Amino acid sequence: DAGVIQSPRHEVTEMGQEVTLRCKPISGHDYLFWYRQTMMRGLELLIYFNNNVPIDDSGMPEDRFSAKMPNASFSTLKIQPSEPRDSAVYFCASSRRVGGIHEQFFGPGTRLTVL
C-alpha cells in the first residue's frame, strides 16, 4: 500500500488567498483525521471523519476552515481566506478500528506558509 498521500507537500500563498489541502487515505480505512502542527501549539486535532461523515470538528479553529470527504478515498481541508497565523504543517491520518483500537497512519504532511 502506498500509505496516506497528501498534496501538495509545500504551499506558499499570500494572505487572503484560498488554500486547499488534499488527502488520500489508506484503502480500507474508514476513519480520517486532520491535524495541525505548530511550534507554539504542538499537534492539534482539527476534525475527523468516519465513513465519510464528519464526527468531531470541535478542533477547527474558525469558520475560515472547512473540511470535506466526498468519498472514501479523498478528503480536503480548505482555508478561505488564509492568514499568516495559519502557517503550519497539516497532517492527514487514517485508521480503521481493529479489536477496539485505532492505529493511525500519518501522511508526510503539507507545509503551509501564508505570507
Partner 1 sequence: AQSVTQLGSHVSVSEGALVLLRCNYSSSVPPYLFWYVQYPNQGLQLLLKYTSAATLVKGINGFEAEFKKSETSFHLTKPSAHMSDAAEYFCAVSNNNDMRFGAGTRLTVKP
Which residues are near partner 1 by CB under 8 A? 4, 31, 33, 42-43, 45, 48, 50, 55-56, 91, 93, 97, 99-109
Residue number with CB closer to partner 1 (68 or 102): 102
3 state DSSP class of 86: helix
Residue number with CB closer to partner 1 (70 or 99): 99
Length reported for the chain: 115
Q: Name the minimum Å distance from CB 10 to partner 1.
A: 10
Cell of 111: 507545509
Residue number with CB closer to partner 1 (3 or 16): 3
Q: Name the minimum Å distance from CB 81 to partner 1.
A: 27
What separation in angstroms does the CA of 44 have from each of 35, 39, 71?
Answer: 5, 11, 24
- 86 phi and psi angles, rounded to 5 deg: -85, -5
